Structure 1
Amino acid sequence: MATRAAVWAAFVAVHGWLTYLGVVVLPGAAFHDVDLYRWWMHLGLHEGRWPVLDEPSVYPAAAVLPMLLPALVAATTPGYALAWCGLVTLLDAFAVAALLRAGGRRGEAAAWWWLAFLLLLGPVGIGRLDAVVAPLTIVALLLAAAPTTTRTRGAAALLTLGAWVKVAPGALVLPLAAAARRPVRDVVAPAAAVCAVVVGAVAAGGGLPRLLGFLDAQGERGLQVESVAATVVGALHRDDVAVVLNEELVTYEVVGPGTAGAAAVLDVLLPLAVGAVALVLLAARRRGTAPAALLPASLLLVALLVVTNKVGSPQFLTWFAPPVAVLVAMRAPTTWRDVRPVWWQVAGALVLLAAGLTQAVFPWGYLPLLAGDDGMALILDARNALLLAVTACAVVGLARAVRGPTTADA
Structure 2
Amino acid sequence: MLRSRGALVAAFLAVHLWIGLLGTVIIPTRAFWDVDLYRWWMWQGLHQGTWPVFSGDWVYPAGAILPMLLPGLVDTWDTRTYAVAWTVLITLLNAVAAWTLLRVTGRRAMLGIWWWLGFILLLGPVAVGRLDAVVAPVVVTALALALRRPAVASALLTAGAWIKVAPGALLLPLVMIVRRPWRQLVLPAAAVCVVVAGIVAAGGGLPHLFSFLGEQGDRGLQLESVSATAWVLRGLVDGGVRIWMNDAIITWEIVGPGTPAMAAVLGVLLPLALAAAAGLLLWVRVRAGDRLDHAAFLARGALLIALVLIVANKVGSPQFIGWLAGPVVVGLARPGRETVRAWRTVAVLVLVIAALTQWVFPIAYDAITAGIVGPSLLLVTRNVLLVVTLVVVVRDLRRMATGRSADR
Structure-2-length-normalised TM-score = 0.94
Contact kept? 1:281, 1:290, Cα under 8 Å: no
Find out whether 1:294 has 2:298 as its counterpart.
Answer: yes
Deviation readout 1:216-273 (Å, 9 max, x if unpaired) = 1111211000011111343542321111111121111011111111111211111001
- Matched with 2:377 is 378
Contact kept? 1:284, 1:290, Cα under 8 Å: no
Q: 1:185 aligns with which of 179, 183, 200?
A: 183
- In 1, Cα distance between the equivalents of 2:15 and 2:285? 40
Deviation readout 1:342-399 (Å, 9 max, x if unpaired) = 3x32111011001111111111111111112111101101111111111111111222
Match of 1:122, SS?
Answer: helix
RMSD over aligned Cα atoms: 1.9
Q: Residues 190 and 58 of structure 1: is their aligned pair in 2 closer, same or farther, counting only changes over 3 Å?
A: same
Contact kept? 1:290, 1:402, Cα under 8 Å: no
Match of 1:179, SS?
Answer: coil
Q: 1:117 aligns with which of 109, 116, 119?
A: 119
Q: Which amino acid is 1:56 matched to?
A: D
* Paired residues for 1:92-107 under 5 Å: 92-107=94-109
1:163 CA displacement: 0.5
Contact kept? 1:226, 1:314, Cα under 8 Å: yes
- Matched with 1:68 is 69
Structure-1-length-normalised TM-score = 0.93
Alignment gaps of 5+ in structure 1:
none
Match of 1:330, SS?
Answer: coil
* Paired residues for 1:183-262 under 5 Å: 183-233=181-231, 234=233, 236-237=235-236, 238-262=238-262
Match of 2:215, SS?
Answer: helix
Q: Which amino acid is 1:110 matched to?
A: G
- Matched with 2:25 is 24
- In 1, Cα distance between the equivalents of 2:203 and 2:388? 45
1:12 CA displacement: 0.5
Q: Residues 360 and 130 of structure 1: is their aligned pair in 2 closer, same or farther, counting only changes over 3 Å?
A: same
1:400 CA displacement: 2.1
- Matched with 1:327 is 331
Q: Residues 333 and 272 of structure 1: is their aligned pair in 2 closer, same or farther, counting only changes over 3 Å?
A: closer
Match of 2:371, SS?
Answer: coil
- Matched with 1:359 is 358
Deviation readout 1:44-69 (Å, 9 max, x if unpaired) = 11111111111211111100000011
- In 1, Cα distance between the equivalents of 2:168 and 2:398? 22
- Matched with 1:6 is 7
- In 2, Cα distance between the equivalents of 1:203 and 1:400? 48
Q: Which amino acid is 1:317 matched to?
A: I
- In 2, Cα distance between the equivalents of 1:276 and 1:339? 28
1:99 CA displacement: 2.8
Contact kept? 1:102, 1:329, Cα under 8 Å: no
Deviation readout 1:61-117 (Å, 9 max, x if unpaired) = 100000011000012100100000010000011122123334454211101000000
* Percent of matched pairs sharing the same residue: 54
Q: Residues 339 and 329 of structure 1: is their aligned pair in 2 closer, same or farther, counting only changes over 3 Å?
A: closer
Match of 1:96, SS?
Answer: helix
- In 1, Cα distance between the equivalents of 2:367 and 2:37? 23
Q: Residues 361 and 332 of structure 1: is their aligned pair in 2 closer, same or farther, counting only changes over 3 Å?
A: farther
Q: Residues 236 and 352 of structure 1: is their aligned pair in 2 closer, same or farther, counting only changes over 3 Å?
A: farther
- In 2, Cα distance between the equivalents of 1:168 and 1:23? 27
What is the number of equivalent residue pairs in this alignment?
Answer: 400
- Matched with 1:155 is 153
- Matched with 1:138 is 140
Q: Which amino acid is 1:65 matched to?
A: L
Contact kept? 1:102, 1:330, Cα under 8 Å: no
Alignment gaps of 5+ in structure 2:
none
The farther-off stretch of 232-241 and 293-302 is 232-241
- In 2, Cα distance between the equivalents of 1:367 and 1:381? 16
The farther-off stretch of 394-403 and 108-117 is 394-403
Contact kept? 2:105, 2:335, Cα under 8 Å: no
- In 1, Cα distance between the equivalents of 2:269 and 2:107? 40
- In 2, Cα distance between the equivalents of 1:307 and 1:142? 25
* Paired residues for 1:79-98 under 5 Å: 79-98=81-100
1:280 CA displacement: 2.5
Contact kept? 1:222, 1:253, Cα under 8 Å: yes
1:339 CA displacement: 6.3
- In 2, Cα distance between the equivalents of 1:333 and 1:115? 24
